[in-house]
């Protein structure tokens, strides 16, 4: 009886995993899956002069947005006014990832527009860039009740979209703002204060962690640390520009 119970739990887990794998494939643009045995599948042949067409990042982002739709995949949809997908250049060299929309973001459907957003604008400005040059999004797209930290299951469900966004844009550097973004992308439980100050990698893309602007508003003594992290981002962007 016990082994039967284990079997059903494992099966449910596998089904859940496959469901999200299929969702990811669809978001990536896969529309149909071939039927029949693997041997009967015909793959188109590429002649030596052919190039594999690169899908436009703007199109990919539009397709991800379409897939999210009026998402109800987790309980966070219950209290939202607007789903906050993300904003900025689809070809951004730098992507900022925060935690979740707050009050103002939920009202306007735009990420980082409240007090923390104004501080993020200053941070972007210090890099010699504007919001149009970068891309800004969050780990979860709907505001958690009373701005609580998103739960692990909500992060697991929604981060599928964040991963797809990052893969569509393929930036030269990612800046994780705060614990939630840093821990989700680096799959760790270490705090941002332990993770900042060194260069990480996310699927081959350099990643820098720093404090969330909302935390910085409450703890202005951490300003120097954040400017140090921004300086590191600036150096990486300049290095890559210089080839």
Where along the sequence are the contacts to ligand SF4 (CB under 6 A)?
68, 71-74, 76-77, 83, 140-142, 154, 157-158
Nearer to ligand SF4, 116 or 157 (CB): 157
Q: Which helix (H) or strand (E) holds 11?
A: helix 2-27
Nearer to ligand SF4, 77 or 194 (CB): 77
**Contact present, 121 and 88 (Cβ < 8 Å):** no
- Kindly state the smallest distance separating residue 198's Cβ from ligand SF4, in Å: 30
- Kindly state the smallest distance separating residue 59's Cβ from ligand SF4, in Å: 20
- Kindly state the smallest distance separating residue 70's Cβ from ligand SF4, in Å: 9
Nearer to ligand SF4, 74 or 209 (CB): 74
- Say whether 156 sits in a helix, a strand or coil: helix
Overall size of the chain counted in residues: 243
- Strand order across the beta sheet in which 173-177 lies: 87-88, 135-138, 94-98, 173-177, 205-210, 200-202
- Selection from 177, 49, 186 nearest residue 116 by Cα: 177
- Calculate the alpha carbon distances from 132 to 101, 103, 111, 235 in Å: 19, 23, 13, 20
Nearer to ligand SF4, 24 or 121 (CB): 24
- Kindly state the smallest distance separating residue 86's Cβ from ligand SF4, in Å: 11
Nearer to ligand SF4, 156 or 172 (CB): 156
Nearer to ligand SF4, 77 or 118 (CB): 77
In the chain, count H helices and then E strands.
9, 6
- Kindly state the smallest distance separating residue 110's Cβ from ligand SF4, in Å: 15
- Kindly state the smallest distance separating residue 169's Cβ from ligand SF4, in Å: 18
What is 44-89 written as a DSSP string?
Answer: PP--TT--PPPPPHHHHHHHHHHHHSS--SSGGGGG-SS----EE-
């Amino acid at each position: 009886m016990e082994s039967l119970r284990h079997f059903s739990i494992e099966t449910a887990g596998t089904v859940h995993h496959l469901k999200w794998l299929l969702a990811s494939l669809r978001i990536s643009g896969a529309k149909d899956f071939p039927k029949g045995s693997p041997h009967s599948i015909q793959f188109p042949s590429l002649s030596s002069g052919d190039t594999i067409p690169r899908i436009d990042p703007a199109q990919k982002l539009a397709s991800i947005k379409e897939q999210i739709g009026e998402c109800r995949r987790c309980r966070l949809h219950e209290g939202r006014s607007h789903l906050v997908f993300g904003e900025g250049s689809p070809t951004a060299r730098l992507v900022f990832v925060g935690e979740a929309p707050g009050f103002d973001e939920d009202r306007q459907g735009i990420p980082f527009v409240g007090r923390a957003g104004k501080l993020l604008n200053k941070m972007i400005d210090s890099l010699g860039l504007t919001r149009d040059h970068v891309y800004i999004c969050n780990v979860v797209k709907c505001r958690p009740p009373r701005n609580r930290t998103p739960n692990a299951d909500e992060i697991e469900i929604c981060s599928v979209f964040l991963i797809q966004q990052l893969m569509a844009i393929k930036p030269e550097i990612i800046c994780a703002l705060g614990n939630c973004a840093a821990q989700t992308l680096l799959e760790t439980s270490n705090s941002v204060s332990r993770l900042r100050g060194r260069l990480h990698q996310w699927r081959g893309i350099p990643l820098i962690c720093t404090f969330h602007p909302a935390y910085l508003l409450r703890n202005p003594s951490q300003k120097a640390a954040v400017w140090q992290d921004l300086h590191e981002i600036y150096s990486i962007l300049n290095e890559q520009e210089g080839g």
